[in-house]
C-alpha cells in the first residue's frame, strides 16, 4: 500500500514545476513587468532565497516579474539553463524589505498610483508542493492571464515542495496562519480599499482557517478586511469546511469555490485522510446549499492533471474572463440571482452554481 501511495504521488506530480530559484535578469528589457509583493514564513535560503524551513520572523519583499512577449495563456514559461526574457518568466528587479513597516510603505506607494476606488489587492496563497519561486511566478501568471488590475501580493508558506512532503506541508500550513493574518492587516493598513483572498489547494485550508480565526475574534472587522474569497481546488474536508462556515457566520461576498470532480490529486488526498471528500472535488452546490456560496465545476476543462485548471487551461481562462460579470451580479444583493445569465446559473437554496459552456473544440 505504501508503494502504491508513492507511485501515485509521483504520477500526479510528474508535471509539477521543478523546485527552482527565481532567475534574475536585471538588465532585461521588460515590456510587460508585473510587480509581485510578498510575505513569507519560510526561512531564508542561500540558494532559493527562501526554502522549506519555517521561520517565526516573516520575510517581506517585492519582485518585478517579466512575462515573455510570446507567453501562452495558462503556461509558466520556466527559465532554462540559458534564461531569456523574450522566452521565459524572469525577475527584472528584487527588493527585500527590513520588515512590515517598510513593506507597508512601499505597498502604499504602489497603491497611491491608482485612482481612489481602484486601490485593490489580490492576495494569493499557494498550495501543496510549491517552492517560493513557484508561487511568485504563478502569481504573476494569474495576474497577467486574467488581466487582473489589482496589486499582486503573494503569501508563501513553508511547503517542502516534495511529492512525499504532504504531512510536513499540513503542519507547515498550520504554522503559517499567524503570518497570513498579519499580511492581511498589513495590506489593509497600506491603503488597499478591497482585498480578494485566493487560496489554492492546501492554501485554501490555510485561508479558511485564518478567516475563521478573524471572524471568531471580530466578525465585523473580518468583513471590513476581506471583501471576497476564491478557493481553487481546496484541499479541505467537506465536514470541516461546513464547520468553518458556521463559525465564520456572515461570509465575505463573493465566496467562490472553483472545483473539479476529476481532480486526481484531491482524490488521493481524500484517500490519505480517510476517504473524506474534499471541497475541491464538489461537482455542484448541493453539499453547501445552505450557505451563500458560488460553485464552479471545471472538470470538463481538465488540463495537466486537473488540480489547477483555472490557472492552466487557456480555454477556461478565456471563459472565466467572459463570465466575470455574472459572478459580480451574483454577489450583488440588488440583483435577482435566478435571472442572471439565463441558462448558465443553477440556484440551489442559498448557493449558486455556474454551469460552464462546453469546451471549445
Distance CA 322, CA 214 (A): 33
Mean pLDDT: which of 140-149, 263-272, 348-357 is highest? 140-149
What integer pLDDT is reported at residue 90 of this predicted model?
94
DSSP bridge partners of 229:
197, 255
Please give the average per-residue pLDDT across 71-93, as a whole number. Answer: 93
pLDDT band at 219 (very low <50, low <70, confident <90, very high): very high
Q: Which of 356, 229, 347, 343 is nearest to 299 (CA)?
A: 356
Enter the pTM of the model: 0.92
Find cell 510578498 and name the residue: 38
Percent of residues in the chain assigned helix, strand, coil, to nearest 5: 40, 25, 40
CB atoms within 10 A of CB 250: 11
pLDDT band at 330 (very low <50, low <70, confident <90, very high): low
Query: Of all residues in the chain, what percent carry a pLDDT higher than 70?
Result: 88
Please give the average per-residue pLDDT across 291-308, as a whole number. Answer: 96
Q: Which of 142-146, 317-321, 335-339, 355-359 has the lowest mean pLDDT?
A: 335-339
pLDDT band at 331 (very low <50, low <70, confident <90, very high): low
Listed in sequence order, the residues at least 6 apart from 57 whose beta carbon sits closer than 8 Å to its beta carbon are none
What integer pLDDT is reported at residue 274 of this predicted model?
83
Please give the average per-residue pLDDT across 347-359, as a whole number. Answer: 90
* Cβ proximity of 135 and 39 under 8 Å: no
Joined grid coordinates for residue 208 = 479558511
The answer regarding whether domain 23-354 maps to CATH 3.40.50.1820 reads yes
Q: Does residue 338 register a pLDDT over 90? A: no
Amino acid at each position: 500500500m505504501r508503494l502504491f501511495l508513492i507511485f501515485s504521488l509521483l504520477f500526479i506530480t510528474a508535471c509539477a514545476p521543478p523546485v527552482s530559484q527565481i532567475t534574475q535578469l536585471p538588465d532585461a528589457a521588460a515590456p510587460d513587468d508585473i510587480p509581485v509583493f510578498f510575505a513569507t514564513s519560510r526561512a531564508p535560503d542561500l540558494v532559493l532565497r527562501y526554502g522549506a524551513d519555517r521561520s517565526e520572523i516573516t520575510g517581506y519583499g517585492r519582485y518585478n516579474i517579466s512575462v515573455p512577449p510570446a507567453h501562452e495563456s495558462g503556461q509558466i514559461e520556466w527559465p532554462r539553463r540559458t534564461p531569456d526574457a523574450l522566452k521565459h518568466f524572469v525577475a527584472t528587479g528584487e527588493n527585500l524589505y527590513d520588515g512590515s513597516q517598510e513593506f507597508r510603505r512601499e505597498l502604499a506607494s504602489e497603491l497611491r498610483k491608482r485612482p481612489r476606488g481602484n486601490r485593490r489587492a489580490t492576495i494569493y496563497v499557494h498550495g501543496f508542493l510549491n517552492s517560493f519561486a513557484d508561487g511568485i511566478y504563478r502569481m504573476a501568471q494569474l495576474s497577467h492571464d486574467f488581466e487582473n488590475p489589482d496589486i499582486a501580493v503573494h503569501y508563501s508558506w513553508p511547503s517542502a515542495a516534495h511529492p512525499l512532503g504532504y504531512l510536513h506541508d499540513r503542519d507547515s500550513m498550520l504554522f503559517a496562519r499567524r503570518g497570513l493574518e498579519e499580511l492581511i492587516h498589513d495590506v489593509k493598513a497600506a491603503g488597499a480599499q478591497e482585498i480578494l483572498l485566493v487560496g489554492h489547494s492546501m492554501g485554501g485550508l490555510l485561508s479558511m482557517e485564518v478567516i475563521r480565526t478573524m471572524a471568531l475574534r471580530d466578525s465585523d472587522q473580518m468583513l471590513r478586511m476581506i471583501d471576497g474569497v476564491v478557493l481553487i481546488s481546496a484541499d479541505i474536508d467537506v465536514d470541516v469546511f461546513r464547520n468553518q462556515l458556521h463559525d465564520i457566520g456572515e461570509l465575505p461576498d463573493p465566496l467562490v469555490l472553483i472545483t473539479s470532480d476529476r481532480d486526481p490529486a484531491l482524490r488521493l488526498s481524500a484517500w490519505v485522510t480517510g476517504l473524506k471528500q474534499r471541497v475541491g472535488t464538489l461537482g455542484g452546490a448541493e453539499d453547501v446549499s445552505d450557505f451563500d456560496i458560488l460553485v464552479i465545476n471545471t472538470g470538463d476543462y481538465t488540463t495537466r492533471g486537473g488540480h489547477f485548471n483555472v490557472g492552466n487551461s487557456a480555454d477556461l481562462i478565456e471563459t472565466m474572463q467572459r463570465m466575470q460579470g455574472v459572478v459580480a451580479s451574483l454577489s450583488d444583493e440588488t440583483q435577482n440571482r435566478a435571472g442572471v445569465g439565463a441558462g448558465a446559473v443553477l440556484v440551489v437554496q442559498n448557493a449558486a452554481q455556474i454551469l460552464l459552456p462546453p469546451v471549445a473544440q
